[in-house]
């Protein structure tokens, strides 16, 4: 039997090199994919858009943080289960060349793919968790600096302010669209106790121009620039 020529060997090496290059390019593209929200979305459209006041933004941040906390705990367990499955498949004794061996190989590949997917999800949820954690921490410090400890009385005051701003937004939106307050908005306004600080602000959105100006007014991001603390998320979650 004749040996492959040097030219043919070089061609084979070049083909393999090109294939590996394409694989590396694909891996690079896939690594840029983030399944969930960007920092920009989190800052501006999730927390920043939650309300005009610090309390509304803080509540949204901790709500999102709690959701990621639960998702991560569940995902860590899912990963452990897949790892157990992989260990079981790898240790399984099957007859070489049999249908059982082929099935076992497929199960191993599927389990490895599933673990890769879980790892990708975990990495992105951890990224979101760190962002919401940093934002919530910043907003909590601001609330305590402005109001002291969050006693039940302080919470009720902050809730009143939060719902007042939400009601004014609804009223302004009604006036902009229909020229008058909707029955639901009128009922909401009537439900706010007389004497509530800021209730007179409804008088400032009674025409389309003032309503548009209120809605167009930029909403403050009360957390400013965020420096995310170096947090070992799995260790932190495991201790809660």
Alpha helices in 92-191 (DSSP H): 99-147, 152-178, 183-191
Q: Indicate the DSSP class of residue 5.
A: P
Number of H helices, E strands in the chain: 8, 0
Q: Do the beta carbons of residue 185 and residue 171 sit within 8 Å?
A: yes
pTM of the predicted model as reported, rounded to 2 decimal places: 0.85
Counting residues of the chain whose pLDDT is more than 70, the rounded percentage is: 93
pLDDT in tens, 103-116: 999 999 999 999 99
Whether the pLDDT of residue 48 is over 70: the answer is: yes
**Mean residue pLDDT across the chain:** 91
């Amino acid at each position: 039997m004749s040996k492959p020529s040097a030219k043919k060997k070089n061609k084979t090496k070049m083909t393999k090199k090109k294939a590996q290059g394409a694989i590396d390019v694909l891996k690079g593209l896939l690594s840029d994919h983030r399944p969930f929200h960007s920092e920009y979305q989190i800052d501006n459209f999730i927390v920043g858009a939650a309300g005009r006041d610090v309390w509304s933004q803080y509540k949204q941040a901790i709500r999102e943080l709690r959701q990621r906390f639960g998702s991560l705990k569940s995902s860590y367990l899912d990963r452990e289960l897949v790892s157990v499955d992989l260990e079981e498949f790898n240790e399984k004794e099957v007859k070489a060349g049999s249908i059982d061996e082929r099935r076992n190989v497929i199960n191993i590949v599927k389990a490895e793919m599933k673990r890769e997917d879980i790892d990708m999800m975990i990495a992105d949820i951890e990224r979101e968790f760190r962002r919401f954690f940093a934002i919530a921490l910043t907003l909590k410090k601001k609330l305590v600096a402005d109001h002291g400890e969050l006693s039940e009385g302080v919470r009720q005051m902050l809730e009143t302010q939060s719902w007042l701003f939400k009601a004014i937004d609804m009223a302004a939106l009604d006036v902009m669209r229909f020229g008058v307050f909707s029955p639901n908005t009128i009922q909401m306004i009537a439900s706010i106790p007389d004497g509530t600080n800021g209730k007179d602000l409804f008088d400032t959105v009674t025409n389309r121009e003032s309503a548009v100006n209120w809605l167009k007014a930029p909403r403050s991001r009360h957390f400013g620039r965020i420096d995310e603390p170096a947090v070992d998320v799995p260790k932190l979650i495991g201790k809660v």
